Amino acid sequence: MTLGRTDEYPAMATTSELLLTLRNPDSGWLATLIVALSEAQSDPVFSAHHQALLAELCRAPPIPLVVRAAALQRSLDFERRLDRESADLAVAG
């Protein structure tokens, strides 16, 4: 076992490793994914099943193109919904 890791999550990077990696100017995608995952984890709709699917995707790249296309479409729909909700809040405020 590596120092700083737990038995429950032996492959998880330590906070120090992540912070060091995020200092690299080429870590933009990692930073973006961490922020997105953090946001998702605070959403009660993002279930344990979703987390398991995501973990499986990370273990078995590449992501199938049909899954990527469906995810892109859903992401665009989600972005539009957030824009509408933001506009509604601005009008109400």
- Asked if the structure places residue 34 within a domain, the reply is yes
Domain containing 13 equals 1-46
Domain total of the chain: 1
pLDDT, tens digit (0-9, with 9 covering 90-100), for 84-93: 999 999 999 7
**Mean pLDDT across the stretch 47-55?**
94
Residue 9 lies in a domain: yes
What is residue 70's predicted lDDT score, i.e. its pLDDT? Answer: 97
Return mean pLDDT, the chain.
88
E strands along the chain, which residues? none
Residue 36 lies in a domain: yes
DSSP 8-state class, residue 13: P
CA torsion, ordered 62, 43, 47, 4, to nearest 10 deg: 70
State the average pLDDT over residues 45-57. 94
Determine, yes or no, domain membership for 73: no
Q: Give me the residue label for tokens 């959403």.
A: 43
Give every CB contact of residue 1 below 8 A, 6+ residues apart in sequence: 7, 10
In a domain, 8, yes or no: yes
pLDDT average, residue stretch 26-31: 96
pTM for the model stands at 0.67
Is 40 domain-assigned? yes
Which whole number is the average pLDDT over 50-65?
Answer: 92
Q: Does residue 12 lie in a domain region? A: yes
Tell me if 17 is assigned to some domain: yes
